[in-house]
Chains A and B, each alone.
Chain A
Amino acid sequence: MLSNIIATQAVHQKYGGVVPELASRAHQQHIIPVVEDAIISAKISKKDIDAVAFTRGPGLLGALLVGTSFAKSFAFARNIPLIDVNHMQAHILAHFIPPANPLEQPEWAAPEFPFLCLTVSGGHTQIVLVKDYFDMEIVGQTMDDAAGEAFDKTAKILGLPYPGGPLIDKYAKEGNPQAFQFPEPQIPGLDFSFSGLKTSILYFVRDKKKEDPDFLEKNMADICASVQSRIITILLAKVKRAAKEFRVNNIAIAGGVSANSGLRGALQDMAGKQNWKVFIPPFQYCTDNAGMIAIAGYHKFLKGDFVGQDVAPLARMVF
């Protein structure tokens, strides 16, 4: 991986202007500075590029259109292959990005097929059975809110700023995860539900505040620890079940929530008990990033799996 650039204020300041937070116009404003920066940081020139990979979906259509159009134009102008990538597959394939300096991480290894991947982010919660680079099957997913959303909405209920997931993780470190009990949803099979948990937290906080207006301030760490612990037990219970069902003991996590230290720790603990081999990506490859699209593109490139100029982005995209 020669470079992996994320649009930030710093990248944008070089070219003037401020960073809008959301939406496709932000993508239009960012794409050229970010690509330029990626090429410069990689110390290569445009002529060295052999193919262009882009996110075809799933996602916000306006944002996908910008990336798709840019990738098409670049591939057309340079006369190089164009490769479409599924964002959710790319999260999983981030596990195959080798370390920048292999000597520093001699223990690094990519997961062996087949493995199970728990992909958890603000918008997704999936258990995926990965049989090969592009042979994946979603075996469980959320029926309502994503795990990341459960974190963010809990933060909102607790009066913490958005996105509150990282803050809950921080407070949870100081708290007692057994202090308060929140219900575990009874969802059959390998699917998830987090909407009921959110509502139970909402009512819990409302009732406790009636008894003591300072309840939140006094118990913030314990509430965060208890909520986080419940979200993690919900996630890992299903992973454990999936591991048994598919007789797989290579377990990976991916997506923004896999940066949560509580989840990482709990997965390691469970791995010890279950005799799993676990794979946890570096932080920079957990949240949305270009590196994961590049590695997915690389494996498609090896297969010669390209798309034509008539390709269109897909807001909804299955494996």
Chain B
Amino acid sequence: MEYCVSSVSELKDVAQKILNFAERERVFLFFGEMGAGKTTFIKELCSTLGVSDITSSPTFSIVNEYNSQQGPVYHFDFYRLKNESEALDLGYEDYFYSGNFCFIEWSEKIPNLLPPQSITVKIEVVNDDQRLIMVNKK
């Protein structure tokens, strides 16, 4: 699936469509360069899931946990990880296999620890205002 969005206000609709497409999948991997809008889009997904907490960037904290009507939502950013063993130390399995939503930025840092099935969301910068969002099931 592909969506071309030219304003933040269009993300709400795309978020709902992606959650429908995902069906029972709970692990979502996000790809895109810095400034592409990964965190912004995850904010929209969280709000669609009924997260009432403020959804902020987990670059520093590595993982943020939010409350939603459907249980906890985990938001990761592995950007700061130097190697995969740091994810092991963090107890990643407890999160990934919890059955709760996991939104993961910079999963490139932990290629061998990712669950076999996931939804991949690629955000490509078309120009300063436009983004191409590509969604696949893996």
Interface residues of A (CB under 8 A from B): 20-26, 59-62, 121-123, 141-146, 148-149, 152-153, 156-157, 162, 195, 198-199, 202-203, 315-316
Contact = CB atoms under 8 A, between A and B. Distances in A.
B35 A198 contact: yes
Contacts of B60: 121-123, 146, 148-149, 152
A162 B91 CA distance: 24
A148 B57 CA distance: 11
B62 interface: yes
Contact of A145 (B59, B65, B80, B90): B59
B57 A149 contact: yes
Given A21-B86, A23-B86, A142-B56, A316 B34 contact: no
Interface of B: 34-35, 39-40, 43, 53-54, 56-57, 59-63, 65-67, 80-82, 86, 89-91, 128
B57 A144 contact: yes
A144 B40 contact: yes
Contact of B61 (A59, A144, A195): A59
Contacts of B34: 153, 156-157, 198, 202
A144 B89 contact: no
Given A202-B35, A203-B128, A316 B86 contact: no
Contacts of A203: 35, 128
B64 to A, nearest CB: 8
B38 to A, nearest CB: 10
A22 B56 contact: no
Contacts of B56: 142-146
Nearest to A157: B34
Contact of B91 (A20, A24, A153, A157): A24
Contacts of A144: 39-40, 43, 56-57
Pick the 4 closest A-B CB pairs, nearest first.
A23-B89, A123-B60, A122-B60, A25-B89
B89 A24 contact: yes
Nearest to A63: B90
A152 B80 CA distance: 11
